Amino acid sequence: MRDNYDRKAYTPLHCAAEKGSTEVVHQLLDSDANVDAKGEDSNVPLHIAVFNKKKPLSNFFYGIAVRGNPRRYREVVEALLKYGFCVNPEDANNTELVHAAVENGYVNIVEDFFKYGANVNALLGRSGLTLLHNAVINKQEEVANLLISNEADINARDENGKTPIFYATENADISLTKFLLANVKDSPEVLFKAVETECVEIVKVLLRYDADVNATDKYGRTALHRIALQDNGFAVVRKCKSPEVKDAIAKLLLNRGAGVNTQTIKGETALHFAIENDNTKVVETILEC
C-alpha cells in the first residue's frame, strides 16, 4: 500500500512531504517507497517539500536525489531554486547549485551565494565555464552585471579558449556585447566570430570599440579574408544571409582600414577568396578601394 495514490495521484510519501512529517518519510523510505513517483502535476515528493517550505525534508530529499541518480542532478537543483529553496552558507561552494541559479537568472539567490562567500571565478562548470560564461550563454544580463560587480574575470577562458564576450558575439547579443566591451581586453577572435555570424550591428559595435581589423588568425587570415570566404572546405563562415550582408560587413572593415593586400601564410588575399567563392559584391567593393 505504500505507493497507493489518492485523488491527486499523490503517494503517501508526497503527503508526508507536504506535511513535513520527517518520521513518516523515513518510515516510508525504509519500506521502499518510490522517492521519484510523480503526481498528476508531475511533482515528486522533493518538489512538494520545497514548495511547502519544509527545509529539513527538502535537504533530505535533495541528498537522496543527487546520490541516487546523478543524471537528474541539474533537474533537482533547478527545481529547488524554482520553488524557493533557501540558500545556506554551505551552499556557497556547491558548483551545480550556483551555476543553475545563474543560468536561470535567479539574481536574488546568486546574491545570497555571494553573501555566504561564493568565489565568482573558482566555481567552474562543464568545459571550464565560469559563472560569467554561463550568464552570457544563457543571456542573463542582470546576473552578468551582478557577477562583474563581484569581480568576475571578464577575460577568463574556458577549456576551448573562449571568453564570455565570444559567446555574446556568437549569440549576436548586442546588449550583452556592448556591456562586456566596456571592460574586456581586445580579443581578435571576437571580431572573427562577429563576421562569422554575419551580424552587422555586432561588427559595428566592435569597430566602435576599436577592434583590430587587421588582426590575423593562425592561418594569417584577417576579418576581411573571413567575410570573403564561403564554403570551400576551409571556410569558417556560414552561408551568408544575403550577398548584401557580406558586402556591408566588408565595407565596414575597409572603412576602418582593413588591408586589402594582406596575405595569408599561403599568400592569399581577401580578393583571392572573394573571386574563388563568387562573392561578386565583395569583389567589386575590394576593387573600388
Q: Single out the residue in 133, 159, 185 at which a domain terminates.
A: 185
For residue range 67-119, list pLDDT tens digits in order: 555 455 556 666 666 666 667 787 788 888 889 889 888 888 899 899 889 99
Domain membership of residue 96 as a residue range: 87-185
Q: Is the pLDDT of residue 255 over 70?
A: yes
d(CA 259, CA 222): 9
- If asked whether residues 125 and 209 sit together in one domain, one would say no
- If asked whether residues 181 and 231 sit together in one domain, one would say no
Cα(first)–Cα(last) distance of the chain, in Å?
A: 83
> How far is residue 179 from each of residues 115, 140, 145, 183, 185, measured CA to CA in Å?
24, 12, 8, 8, 13
- If asked whether residues 166 and 221 sit together in one domain, one would say no
pLDDT of res. 67:
54
- If asked whether residues 91 and 160 sit together in one domain, one would say yes
Averaged over 187-214, what is the pLDDT? 86
Q: Is the pLDDT of residue 247 over 70?
A: yes
- If asked whether residues 64 and 110 sit together in one domain, one would say no
- If asked whether residues 195 and 288 sit together in one domain, one would say yes
Phi first, then psi, for residue 257 (nearest 5°) are 95, 20
pLDDT of res. 95:
86
For residue range 159-193, list pLDDT tens digits in order: 998 899 989 988 888 888 888 887 776 667 788 88
Q: Single out the residue in 152, 185, 218 at which a domain terminates.
A: 185
> How far is residue 41 from each of residues 38, 44, 84, 149, 249, measured CA to CA in Å?
7, 9, 18, 39, 51
Residues 6 or more apart whose Cβ sits within 8 Å of residue 30 = none
| pLDDT tier at 123, thresholds 50, 70, 90 | very high
pLDDT of res. 58:
67
- If asked whether residues 190 and 289 sit together in one domain, one would say yes
The answer to whether the pTM exceeds 0.85 is no
Q: What percent of the chain has pLDDT over 70?
A: 80
Choice among 20-24, 125-129, 141-145, 201-205 with the minimum mean pLDDT = 20-24
Q: Tell me the CATH number at 98.
A: 1.25.40.20
- If asked whether residues 65 and 39 sit together in one domain, one would say yes
- If asked whether residues 162 and 227 sit together in one domain, one would say no
- If asked whether residues 22 and 64 sit together in one domain, one would say yes
- If asked whether residues 147 and 240 sit together in one domain, one would say no
Q: Single out the residue in 162, 185, 208 at which a domain terminates.
A: 185
Structural domains in the chain (count)? 3
Choice among 150-154, 185-189, 225-229, 266-270 with the minimum mean pLDDT = 185-189
- If asked whether residues 21 and 118 sit together in one domain, one would say no
| Report for 52-66, 68-82, 144-158: range of highest mean pLDDT | 144-158
